[in-house]
Amino acid sequence: MAQLADEILSSLDPKQRSVATALKGPVCVIAGAGTGKTRAITHRLAYGVDIGVIDPKRVLALTFTARAAGEMRTRLRSLGVASIAARTFHAAALKQLIYFWPETLGGRFPSLLTSKTGFLSEALQRANISNTKKSSLLRDLAGEIEWAKVLALAPDQYLQGLNDYSRVFNPSSKISAEQVAKVYEAYESLKKQERAIDFEDVLLLTVGMLEEERDVRERVRDQYRYFTVDEYQDVSPLQQRLLDLWLGKRDDICVVGDPAQTIYSFAGASPAFLLNFTNKYPHAEVIRLSAGYRSTPEIINTANTLLRSANLGHELDAINSHGEKPIAKGYKSQSDEAQALVLLIKEDIAGGLATNEIAILTRTNSQLEVLENALDEAGIENQIRNSERFFNRPQVREMIGAIRSASVLSESDWLSDLRDCLKPFGQSEYVRSFMQLAGELEAEGLTSLRAFLRELEERSETNNPPILPGVALATLHAAKGLEWRKVYLAGVSAEVLPWQASSIEEERRLFYVGVTRAQESLALTYYGVASPFLAEAGLVN
């Protein structure tokens, strides 16, 4: 056992090792971009389990996205720990709510809305509001309602909440805050009528259940003893309230975050919980990770220049070999910029880069559409991250059905069996992504087609798709937590970034997130007038 424990720690640097061996009491890890925070916290759990300090069945590891939860489970499995629950706040709450529903509230469990769009369309009609920009309006409304609910603001408290939290509601759809309140009220009424709940309700109902039902609260606390929270800078007041209920008076909690990467304040998240952690737990151990393993010194220097100019936080230390200096270039129009990016990416591919090693990141979804069209016309394979749910696509569902049938008879050579059962689907991007994932999992020790099927089913439940081939197209928000060898930050123009002057600090942090996605090469492009953030980063005069 001691030998395995030593192996777990051997791949960590001294600071990461400090995280991995800090197993008792409250621990706060301030981890800069690309400093190996996921490695540190997964090794901490694996080390604690191996030496017998942590019971894996009593751990709840919480992440901000389903993809991050899936990555954590994969890493833990590769370290020999497969029984730890790694979930998003919503997934953990939903599991508890469904389990205790019959004995606390009774009756049939409500239907869960995976999207607010349909109900919001009906709510708009009920509130007698018409608008020509309906898709953007629905997006704005969903965001406002989510913000209100994570702050526990009912429809009749929404307007006062805008004032109390100094929130400026200024959607592109041009409707008033009073109209938003009416739609919010109609939306909640419609949900009640249809016996439906949304993801914010899942958190609110779980909080209510744990606050009101002492027996349930004690049973949940008995189930979970050790807590790890990733991306703690993006926790909302509602999520913190739930976390406090799970913890009770105990303090076996490890939180990890980076104040410089707080990018969800618009949705009610607050870095205050991370920044004030030592006020709540005065005896907490605080560890800082600053060694930048992801990026070249040149990219880290750009990130640090931005950190210094805006006083965003502690700088990163360059560890890797030197590379290209980031460059910024302007174009007359968005169309000119898109065509220039196509030519640059063709050069990258000719130079040996695989398409899935390249990303174009933008501030808005509408910018992505222009770039997608340009790449399509040039015949360059591409994928928009976080668009349609991967596992809802008809061919993907058919492929999983074929794997399910084949898994019944599959015996020794499961990779060959997988290849055979996917032959009818040709060489589509989905087949290639499945085969790539299968190869990676076999290298990690997966031994059967049944186990691969379970992996796919788990990924489907948590919306954690395998990596698809093609140049990645993503908004800066969707790119959080990801990395590529070559990154283009496109549309870094004054009219787009910052998107709203009222949130300039958050927009700056979002730009920092974009810069720190690049491993080896970073290029920034803009049309018209350059964003002021380019000057702050030392990239334009």
Mean pLDDT within 285-306: 94
Q: Residue 438: in which H helix or E strand, if any?
A: helix 429-443
Task: Give the closest residue to 147 by CA, choosing from 234, 268, 264, 241.
Answer: 268
Residue with tokens 């790539």: 436
Is 341 inside any structural domain? yes
The token pair at 233 is 């800078």
**Domain end residue (candidates: 194, 218, 239):** 194
Is 316 inside any structural domain? no
417 in the same domain as 357 = no
Beta bridge partners of 226: 59
Is 483 inside any structural domain? yes
Structure confidence at residue 226 as a pLDDT band (50, 70, 90): very high
Q: Which residues contact 332 (CB under 8 A, 6 or more apart)?
A: 527, 528
Is 438 inside any structural domain? yes
Q: Is the pLDDT of residue 2 over 60?
A: no
489 in the same domain as 526 = yes
3-state secondary structure 64-132: CCHHHHHHHHHHHHHCCCCCCEEEEHHHHHHHHHHHHHHHHCCCCCCEECCCCHHHHHHHHHHCCCCCC
455 in the same domain as 474 = no
CA 438 to chain CA centroid, Å, is 23
pLDDT tens column, 357-395: 999 999 988 899 899 999 999 999 888 875 456 777 888
Tell me the CA distances in angstroms from 75 to 56, 62, 79, 176, 400, one per residue in order. 14, 14, 6, 47, 23
Calculate the dihedral angle through the C-alpha atoms of 220, 257, 34, 309, rounding to the nearest 10 degrees.
170
Mean pLDDT within 67-75: 85
509 in the same domain as 419 = no
49/375 Cα distance (integer angstroms): 48
Domain encompassing residue 361: 322-388+468-536
407/387 Cα distance (integer angstroms): 30
**Domain end residue (candidates: 148, 165, 194):** 194
223 in the same domain as 190 = no
Is 174 inside any structural domain? yes
287 in the same domain as 248 = yes
Check residue 98 and give its pLDDT. 94
pLDDT tens column, 425-443: 887 878 888 898 888 888 7
146/153 Cα distance (integer angstroms): 10
CA 325 to chain CA centroid, Å, is 28
Beta bridge partners of 484: 518
Is 312 inside any structural domain? no
Provide, rounded to the nearest whole percent, the portion of the chain with pLDDT above 90.
58
26 in the same domain as 63 = yes
Is 78 inside any structural domain? yes
**Domain end residue (candidates: 444, 461, 478):** 461
**Whole-number CA gyration radius for the chain:** 24
Is 350 inside any structural domain? yes
CATH number at residue 24: 3.40.50.300
Task: Give the closest residue to 471 by CA, choosing from 450, 454, 488, 447.
Answer: 488
Strands of 308-370, DSSP E? 317-318, 327-331, 358-362
What is the count of structural domains for the chain?
A: 4
337/249 Cα distance (integer angstroms): 55
Which amino acid, one-letter code, is at 115? S
118 in the same domain as 68 = no
399 in the same domain as 348 = no
The token pair at 29 is 């890890």
161 near 167, Cβ under 8 Å? yes
Check residue 387 and give its pLDDT. 47
76 in the same domain as 23 = yes
134 in the same domain as 279 = no
418 in the same domain as 281 = no
